[in-house]
Amino acid sequence: MADFASLLPDAGWWAVAGGLLLCLELLSPGIFLMWLGIAAGITALVVVAVAMPLWTQFLLFAVLALASVYVGWRWYRSRPMGGQGQLREPSDLMIGSTGTVADPIRHGRGKVRVNDSLWLAEGPDLDTGAAIRVTGQNGTTLRVEAAP
């Protein structure tokens, strides 16, 4: 078994590699290099504790890299997205909004005012000034119903 001082250069290179990977993670989008940096750091700790040839160090790093990436992947898959990941149109936010009929809705078509905008509308026949609630959207036309 080699003495402790001779192990430090190998461990030092692994520690530097882990630190560089963690720094590169800060500059890149996503979270992938972090897991490789963690694997390099663990490899450095193992090399300090156990003397091993260089090829074994690389093999250990490869196994630890795969394991850490797998653990990271499992951890992120178990986390809820919190509303992210779904594309939303700003006009979809209008569903459930209320407004008034601006031009009478006749034969299923008319105009409504929601917030400060005038929209084409589809819905039951309603007179000007009637309260409406938005139930859906078809392009630039809102589907509406009479508000209670």
108-139 tens-digit pLDDT: 999 999 888 899 999 999 999 999 999 988 88
pLDDT of residue 91: 59
- What is the average per-residue pLDDT within 56-64? 91
Q: What is the value of pTM for the model shown?
A: 0.48
Q: Is the distance from CB of 118 to CB of 128 less than 8 angstroms?
A: no
**Measured distance CA(119)–CA(143) in Å, rounded:** 10
- The token pair at 110 is 């008319």
pLDDT of residue 115: 84
Tell me the C-alpha to C-alpha distance, in Å, between residue 96 and each of 7, 107, 114, 119. Answer: 67, 23, 11, 15
**Residue owning tokens 């993670």:** 25
Tell me the C-alpha to C-alpha distance, in Å, between residue 108 and each of 36, 48, 49, 65, 81. Answer: 60, 78, 78, 62, 39
Domain boundaries, the chain: 4-78, 90-146
- The token pair at 124 is 């039951």
Which uninterrupted H or E stretch holds 94?
none
- What is the average per-residue pLDDT within 72-96? 69
Q: How confident is the model at residue 78 (pLDDT cuts 50, 70, 90)?
A: confident
pLDDT of residue 122: 94
Between 7-16, 51-60, 118-127, 130-139, the lowest mean confidence (pLDDT) is in 7-16
| pLDDT of 92 above 70 | no
Question: In the CATH hierarchy, which top-level class contains the domain 90-146?
Answer: mainly beta
96 or 106, which is more confident: 106
pLDDT of residue 62: 92
pLDDT of residue 3: 53
- Mean confidence (pLDDT) of the chain: 83
Q: Is the distance from CB of 123 to CB of 105 less than 8 angstroms?
A: yes
Which residues are registered as beta bridge partners of 146? 132
